[in-house]
Structure 1
Amino acid sequence: MSMTAAVCNAFRGSILHFLANPGEAGADHSYQFIPDGLMVVENGRVLALGGYAELHPTLPAGTQLTDYSGRMILPGFIDTHIHYSQTDVIASPGKQLLDWLEHYTFPAEGRFDDMNHATEVAGFFLDELLRNGTTTALVFGTTHRQSLDAFFAVAGQRALRMVAGKVLMDRNCPEFLRDTPDSAYADSAALIERWHGQGRLGYAITPRFAVTSSDAQLAQVGELARNYPEVHIHTHLAENMDEVAWVTRLFPWSRSYLDVYDHYGLLRERAVYAHCIHLDEDDRQRMVDSGATAAFCPTSNLFLGSGLFDLAGALDSGMRVGVATDVGGGTSFSMLRTLGESYKVAQLRGYTLSPLQAFYLATLGNAKALGLDDNIGNLAPGKEADFIVLDPESTPLMARRMRSATTLIERLFIFMTLGDDRAVAATYILGELVHTRACLPSAENLSNE
């Protein structure tokens, strides 16, 4: 193995990443855990990964070694559904989905016709993702074309791998947020041509949900999807029972909510449907057959009282499933907190989500769900070096609890139950440090103050 000193950086710590789905490959063959590991990064990609004792002697003179001994290095978290335009309405009290949209979301999104506002929010939003260890996300913008120009410009300046799209809606929403079937197509096509594939950026065709698009607009969206088969499709599906009933009234010819999207050619690989709570067996099978992904959004579903996603049923059926924060209906940017709530929702449905499965979903599983696993999702040599460092002593309680943990699985469970942004000691993009957090004082120091 050849390593050149000028561009190599090495990182020491406990290293964990996934090679396959623990639920399919079996836990013993699904992940690699190196208690004292070394990862070598060259030109933004993982060059080598292995034990510290084995790899350290091979490092060329001048290699910069960053020592995270006692901490855990993992691939960056991936969020499969989030709204950057709802950053300022997180933690807004209200009723269920449709009322919440009317009273909080739509007024907030109306401000994104201002490019300066969109740029400022995009910067804060991306800072918050990185602070929480999320290095890639599938992101909703607003109906304003400039909201996507702002987002992509800020994300591109930071060399982030992000996928986003302009919201499409021409009915059942405020007039100041409406586009038209023709403008939805034209604006989306222009944004795709400008931004998709620029650096690490990708585009998602983004109808908000079926009730806010007319038949004419959905037909245009389907045409857009046919003309740009390489981009993502991103929307909402079967989140709330009132929403499902509304779809039935608006599209009386459809067999189901999902059938509306399928009718217009929007059910395919790289199509991501947020929520998918109220699906029947036929719809699940159509999701499986098409290769579409369901984005499980536990904190949002609990906060808005939408229902409990059937994770076990989805996995058993063979559906692709990702996990997502869904900020601002979701109540945290933290994937650790999101995994903890995923565990609780699964418990209420009679399924125990293992820590291995949870961390797989947040990393390689979500990369596969987005069709990005050729580049991100684990730390295999050749992958882009987006990674995070978790600190098991980030809070006095976590440090105390970790001292009695005897297995990797137990430590992961503590991270996902007690962890939040404070547990993310560092975040790296293409091997470059973009966020670091000073360690909190130890429990002993705190008690002596």
Structure 2
Amino acid sequence: MKIDTAAAPASAVPRPWYKHLYTWVLVAIALGVLVGHFAPATGEALKPLGDMFIKAVKMVIPPVIFLTIVTGIAGMRDLATVGRVAGKAFIYFLFFSFLALLVGMLVANVTRPGHGLNIDPASLDASKVADYATKAHETSFIGFLNGMIPDTFVSGLTSGNILQVLMISILFGVALALIGERGDKVLGLLEDVSAAFFKLVSIVMKAAPVGAFGAMAFTIGKYGIGSLANLAELVATVYLTSILFVLVILGAVARICGFSILRLLAYLKGELLLVLGTSSSESALPALIEKMEAAGCPKAVVGLVVPTGYSFNLDGTNIYMTLAALFIAQACNVELSFGQQLLLLGIAMLSSKGAAGVTGAGFITLAATLSIVPSVPVAGMALILGVDRFMSECRSLTNFVGNAVATVVVSRWEGSLDLARLNETLRGKRAVTTGA
């Protein structure tokens, strides 16, 4: 993805709308909905298109994260600064994870989306969620720590586990920084390789409309828009809560930091459409790294905050967890006391970190949380299995925006944010050209 961060000349002619990748992603999403609705069998058959695009993006994510983190840490040289940035990032992640869980809990108590369903837990088919429950038991804290360490250095880059990529990237970056000037040649080489990989990303992103079309056609074809009707209140509550969290809470944080959340959303519109179409925030990870650097966040901070946030800063997933857990309790007529709800929140806080890096982490983390809270039946997850796919887009979008805001906040907190450049970029006064 080529990025030009120079100020845009006043006479610059904007690209026609039909030459923007995000335009074609939007068209592809609309076509996918139509095909899935009117030809569901065809829509289901198009699933490989979405799968192949996501697979292609995941192919480049490990080297992009590795190169970004290593060059960022080695370029800093001051390891005390690296530790300070990482510490501030984790303080931010923990606070907003707790806040998102709390917001989900409060909204569930006010709106009570599961009230009146009167589901008998014994009538639920627990086999539908058996696989998720099994995976949830596999995501213990010890298993989580053990899973961070790859079998070999190279396997950390090939396993697809972001936590393992983070581990070897941070260690190698620190090692490169410690050897001082002897590492300059290696650092220069890695920066050149990084440029080549981002060009590779831009090539892969050309297929984004095809991937979004296939993924959306499959979702609508398999589950159908009509499947939303039975659980419309839960789905609507998750979406509205997430929108309010982004606009009100993250919006307030953005205002304190000196920028507009709405302008940031407009700046990232191409990436947001891609996340919407593919139901995966990972599909836009490389673009987010580039765009945040282009907007004035230092490379070292972006390299640490964005990849780490993808595992530990999941605002959308956290909102969903407490909302879905209390929905199941309400639907099954299980009344939880205030103390039990606080216990649920605390367990969700821990289990959400334990499932970091696990595919389908949102649903698996919910299973892990409910398995520890005996009052709420794990089998109740079968109630929301059919519409979970529709809520996954909301989780991914909120997670994505949350990590963009976190990057700016930590940069500002660190005193290294170029605020003037950020606002010029968000207002369109700097030319920023990417694959999206």
Structure with the bigger percentage of strand: 1
Q: TM-score, normalised by structure 1?
A: 0.24
Structure number with greater CO (CA < 8 Å, separation at least 6) is 2
Q: TM-score, normalised by structure 2?
A: 0.24
